[in-house]
């Protein structure tokens, strides 16, 4: 079974690439972030023609998440229980579903903007709500994973130049502590380091030739519980999908599993 996560940075803009990638990669379950569309505008019909069902939590604008599966979709939950909201609004940043033998979450963690900004405080509050929401499944016997754009680089090695992020979000101690607290529910990072290349980043800014120069960050993560981690047979970042015209600024992260 192949499962993946991909911040597509607008599913409308990326749809031809997404459909082609699903066919060529053989992915069974894809967690999508930053759909930038409403649930009504989500391309559920085009995905259905390829054999995929869609669970979507999206209202347009800059957020939106989905789980796309050809292994079935059951027990869909849209939104994050205990979501703290930002400026009085709950943003569409989480959706969970059971896909065959797996339970998965697709998450798009708040960016945080700047240290000290209200959005930064919201990010940490959101992480705490996520930790509380997944704790039960994380410690369970069913394979379970939280996949998505976490907007945090777990270690200093997960950014191309630590000095370039001095004083910025994504690498601060509170953000990394939030990741640690999430893992302590019973989850682990199932994408090993190193992979087939020295720095398996997942995000590169469009500006300043960041991708050709490999000035990236590893912020798209797959955190799985013990049964999920035990089933992992391979994992990789599909850097090829970051190349060329019309690419997202994120690459898909792919995990292969041996599950009944």
* Nearest-angstrom CA–CA distance, 151 and 209: 21
Side-chain half-sphere CA neighbours of 188 within 13 A: 13
Burial class of residue 45 in the structure, from the number of CB atoms within 10 Å of its CB (0-12 exposed, 13-18 middle, 19+ buried) = exposed
Helix, coil or strand: residue 125: helix
Q: What is the pLDDT of residue 260?
A: 82
Nearest CA-CA partner of 59 in 34, 96, 22, 28: 34
CATH number, domain containing residue 180: 3.60.10.10
Tell me: pLDDT of 197 over 80: no
Tokens matching residue 117 = 């900004």
| Diameter over CA atoms, the chain | 47
55-63 contacts: CB < 8 A, separation 24 or more? 55/95, 55/97, 56/95, 57/92, 57/93, 57/94, 57/95, 58/92, 59/92, 60/36, 61/36, 62/34, 62/36, 63/34, 63/35, 63/36, 63/91, 63/92, 63/93, 63/108
pLDDT per position as a tens digit, 214-240: 999 999 999 999 999 999 999 999 999
The boundaries of the domain holding residue 158 are 2-257
Assign 3-state DSSP to the chain and report helix, strand, coil percentages, each to 5. 30, 30, 45
Report pLDDT for 196. Answer: 52
Average pLDDT of the residues of the chain: 95
pTM of the full predicted structure? 0.96
pLDDT digits (tens, 9 = 90+) for 36-54: 999 999 999 999 999 999 9
Per the structure, the count of domains in the chain is 1
Mean pLDDT of 177-205: 86
* pLDDT surpasses 70 at 199: no
- pLDDT above 70 covers what percent of the chain? 97
Encode pLDDT of 67-118 as tens digits. Answer: 999 999 999 999 999 999 999 999 999 999 999 999 999 999 999 999 999 9
């Amino acid at each position: 079974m192949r499962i993946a996560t991909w911040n597509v940075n607008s599913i409308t803009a990326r749809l031809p690439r997404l459909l082609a990638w699903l066919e060529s990669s053989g992915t069974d379950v894809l967690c999508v972030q930053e759909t930038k569309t409403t649930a009504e505008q989500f391309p559920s019909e085009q995905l259905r023609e390829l054999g995929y069902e869609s669970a979507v939590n999206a209202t347009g604008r800059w957020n939106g998440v989905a789980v796309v599966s050809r292994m079935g979709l059951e027990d869909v939950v849209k939104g994050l229980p205990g979501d703290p909201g930002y400026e009085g609004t709950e943003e569409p940043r989480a959706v969970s579903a059971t896909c065959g033998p797996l339970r998965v979450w697709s998450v798009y963690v708040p960016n945080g903007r700047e240290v000290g900004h209200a959005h930064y405080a919201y990010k940490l509050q959101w992480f705490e709500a996520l930790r509380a929401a997944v704790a039960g499944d994380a410690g369970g016997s069913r394979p379970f994973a939280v996949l998505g754009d976490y907007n945090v680089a777990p270690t200093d090695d997960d950014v191309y130049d630590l000095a370039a992020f001095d004083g910025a979000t994504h690498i601060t101690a509170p953000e990394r502590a939030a990741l640690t607290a999430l893992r302590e529910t019973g989850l682990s990072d199932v994408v090993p380091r190193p992979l087939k290349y020295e720095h398996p980043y997942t995000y590169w800014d469009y500006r300043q030739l960041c991708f050709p120069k490999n000035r990236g960050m590893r912020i798209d993560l797959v955190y799985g519980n013990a049964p999920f981690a035990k089933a992992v047979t391979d994992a990789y970042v599909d850097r090829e999908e970051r190349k060329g015209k019309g690419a997202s600024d994120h690459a898909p992260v792919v995990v292969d599993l041996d599950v009944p």
